[in-house]
Amino acid sequence: MMIKLLMELIRMFLNRPRIPYPEESADFSATLESVDVHDVIDSWYDTYKPPISYFLASIVIEVSLKYPYAGCCEQAEKHIYLRPEYANAGTLAHEVAHVVYYILTDEQKQAFFDAYKLALETDSLLQLLYSKKNQSMYNTTEIHGEIYRYLGNKLPKELYIFYPYLI
Ligand SMILES: [Zn+2]
């Protein structure tokens, strides 16, 4: 009986959903000089495997102290700034999602939010993400960015259409 219970617990542990792209820890020893932005971009391509496109290649990505945030982007200019200590694939993924979100029409943005609310009722990975990150999912832009950052191409299929160039 105990063995059966134990086996059941192990099975539950192995089957429980996990965040596919967990948050990387900050590297406080990193400086503007020590971080090569190309390594960060390569790491994002290797990890998230977005399709190669002119659109993605045309985004300017810079390691910079211009903004106090881990990552920041000027969406219309397609310009991303990453602090050296947070210059990693996950931070970049979040900011790239912001650039992509910007090109969606207002109708698409509304449709994304509606589809997200619906998916949240059934998708276990999305529910897990929401349980951990609801504080940073405070508006539609951030919801869109956090979903791509943490779920990557494991995000709910019905949301794929709102991630052009990324999925
Ligand atoms: Zn953001």
- Give domain status of residue 114, yes or no: yes
Q: How far apart are CA 92 and CA 77, in angstroms?
A: 16
> What is the model's pLDDT at position 9?
74
- Give domain status of residue 49, yes or no: yes
DSSP state of 71: E
Which residues fall within 8 angstroms of residue 142, CB to CB, at 6 or more apart?
136
> What is the model's pLDDT at position 1?
67
Strand, helix or coil for residue 82: strand
Instruction: Look up the pTM and report it.
Output: 0.92
- Give domain status of residue 21, yes or no: no
> What is the model's pLDDT at position 7?
78
Domain housing 108: 37-162
- Give domain status of residue 62, yes or no: yes
- Give domain status of residue 53, yes or no: yes
Q: Helices 106-120 and 124-133, interaxial angle, to 10°?
A: 100
What is the domain count for the chain? 1
Residue type, 74: E
Q: How far apart are CA 117 and CA 85, in angstroms?
A: 33
**CA 122 to ligand 1 center in whole angstroms:** 25
**CA 3 to ligand 1 center in whole angstroms:** 46
Q: How far apart are CA 18 and CA 137, in angstroms?
A: 18
Strand order through the sheet with 60-63: 60-63, 79-82, 71-74
- Give domain status of residue 130, yes or no: yes
**CA 146 to ligand 1 center in whole angstroms:** 7
- Give domain status of residue 111, yes or no: yes
Strand, helix or coil for residue 74: strand
> What is the model's pLDDT at position 116?
98
- Give domain status of residue 167, yes or no: no
pLDDT in tens, the chain (167 residues): 677 877 777 777 777 889 999 999 999 999 999 999 999 999 999 999 999 999 999 999 999 999 999 999 999 999 999 999 999 999 999 999 999 999 999 999 999 999 999 999 999 999 999 999 999 999 999 999 999 999 999 999 999 999 999 99
> What is the model's pLDDT at position 113?
98
**CA 42 to ligand 1 center in whole angstroms:** 21
Q: Identify the bridge partners of residue 73 per DSSP, sorted by sequence position.
A: 80
